[in-house]
Structure 1
Amino acid sequence: MEDTEMIHLWKSYDKKLEENLSFNRQNAADITHMKVQSALASMKPLKIFTILIGIIWVIWVDSILISTFHIANPFFLVSAGIQVLLTKLAIGIYLYQLLLIQQVDINAPVLDTQEKLSKLKSSTLWCARLLFLQLPVWTTFYWNQSMLDNSNGWLYALQIMVTVSFTYLAIWLFVNIRYKNSHKKWFHFIFNGKEWNPVIKAMELLHQVQEYRQ
């Protein structure tokens, strides 16, 4: 009888222990999921601020392009047109990212959240790639016919060298800004702050959620 009671008590203890472990794992998963939301929410203020500044910049540049279209030199029009177009694309990506952040639900399946984080990470890389394509036009918007007619050979060589260097850098960054290069120093130099770190932190936390629920 005593042996039977001991076995019963042991099984009862085992069951309670398993229930407690399961409860603790669920609590840990829920808390970690809340941290994911918090990490992503920390990105919103900077993105909203950047969007507002971007919209003001786009309106200002567009107004200049429209008002000076018939008198401005072609170098300025083309350079400013490319710059403002890329800025508009970046604003569109930022708005898309805000929507993704808003859609992250603490009660959603882990795979659904992972998909949104993956899109957020990918769009962040694409935004940077597009914005770096602006580099060459910052070296050409001030060109004009008078400068071309009156510059000497040294100034020509210097201007060409600067423009070619910026063009090479823009193309190199566009090609190489990929997640597979995230371990490199230059990548950390570019992506270090509220635009990138919360996404990576959220992905790491979400991996912990998966481990809790296994």
Structure 2
Amino acid sequence: MEDIELQQIWKSYDERLQEQLVFNRKNALDITKMKVKSELTAMRPIKIVTVLVGILWVFFLDVLLINLFPVGNYFFLISFGFISLVNKIAVGVYLYQLILISVVSINSPVISTQKKIASLLSSTLWVTRILMLQLPFWTTFFLSSSWIGTGNPVFWVIQVLITFAFAGLAIWLFVNIRYENRDKRWFKFLFGNYEWDPIMKAREMLTQIEDYKEITS
């Protein structure tokens, strides 16, 4: 009789222990998901400011292009036209990222959140690469067609060298801004803490959730 009672007590204790483990596991997962959401939400203010500044900047560029179009300075029109186009793309990408951040929910499946973070990561890399392409055009917008053939040869030599140097830098950055280079010093300097760190922290926490599920399953 005592053996049966002991077995029942042990069974009851084991059931309560399992319930407690399930409860603790659920709490740990929920807390981690909340931290992921918090990390991503922390990016929202800087992205909103970037979008607003970007819209104002593109508007300013377009006003200049429209007002100066009759003048027909091709160096200015092509340079600022490309710069305006690149910044329009950047504004669109940042708006897309804001939407991604807003739809992340702690109740969403982990794999769904992982896909959104992967999209944030990929779009962050791509928008930065695209923005780098405008660098050489900042060295040509002030030139004038009337200077060709009449300008100082030394000036044109220096101008061409500077433009090619910026073009080479733009191409190098476009090629090398990749996830594999995330630990490089220049990469960290380029992205800073506000743009990159929250995504990486959220990504690591989601990986911890997957690892925890495997251990407790």
TM-score, normalized by the shorter chain, greater than 0.5:
yes
Q: TM-score, normalised by structure 1?
A: 0.95
Task: Tell which deviates more after alignment, 1-10 or 164-173.
Answer: 1-10
In structure 1, what residue type is equivalent to 2:96? Y
What's the CA shift for 1:27?
0.2
SS of aligned partner of 1:68: helix
Q: Distance in 1 between matches of 2:85 and 2:140?
A: 16
Relative to the length of structure 2, the TM-score reads 0.93
CA contact (8 A) 1:129 1:177 kept: yes
Q: Does residue 1:160 correspond to 2:156, yes or no?
A: no
Report SS of the residue matched to 1:164: helix
Does the 8 Å CA contact 2:74/2:145 hold for their aligned counterparts? Answer: no
Deviation at 1:18, TM superposition (A): 1.7
Distance 2:5 2:147 in 1: 99
Q: How many Å apart are 1:147 and its aligned residue?
A: 4.0
Deviation at 1:194, TM superposition (A): 1.4
* Number of corresponding residues: 214
Identity rate, percent: 52
In the other structure, the counterpart of 2:191 is 191
- Secondary structure of the 2:69 match is coil
Tell me if 1:8 matches 2:12: no
The amino acid across from 1:185 in the alignment is: R
Give the equivalent residue in structure 2 for 1:78.
78
Select between 88-97 and 171-180 the one with higher mean Cα deviation. 171-180
User: Is 1:34 aligned with 2:26?
Assistant: no
Q: Quick check: 1:109 aligned with 2:113?
A: no
Cα deviation per residue 1:136-179 (whole Å; 9 max; x = unaligned)? 00011011135444433332221111111110111111111111
Larger deviation: 148-157 or 77-86?
A: 148-157
Equivalent residue for 2:58?
Answer: 58
How many angstroms apart in 2 are the aligned matches of 1:111 and 1:179? 20
2:128 maps to 1:128: yes
Flag structure 2 segments of 5+ consecutive residues without an equivalent.
Answer: none
Q: Residue by residue, what CA displacement relative to the aligned partner does 1:2-31 show, whole Å, maximum 9, x if unpaired?
A: 222222222222221121111111101101
State yes or no: 1:43 paired with 2:37: no
Query: Is this contact kept in 1: 2:75–2:145, CA < 8 A?
Result: no
Q: Give the residue type in structure 1 aligned to 2:26.
A: Q
More contact order relative to length (CA 8 Å, sep ≥ 6): 1
Preserved contact between residue 79 and residue 141 of structure 2 (Cα < 8 Å): yes
Residue 183 of structure 1 deviates from its aligned partner by 2.2
Deviation per residue, 1:116-151 (Å, 9 max, x gap)? 110011000011011111100001101113544443
Q: Deviation above 4 Å: which 4+ runs of structure 1?
A: none
Distance (Å, rounded) in 1 between the aligned partners of 2:77 and 2:197: 37
Code of the residue aligned with 1:10 in structure 2: it is W
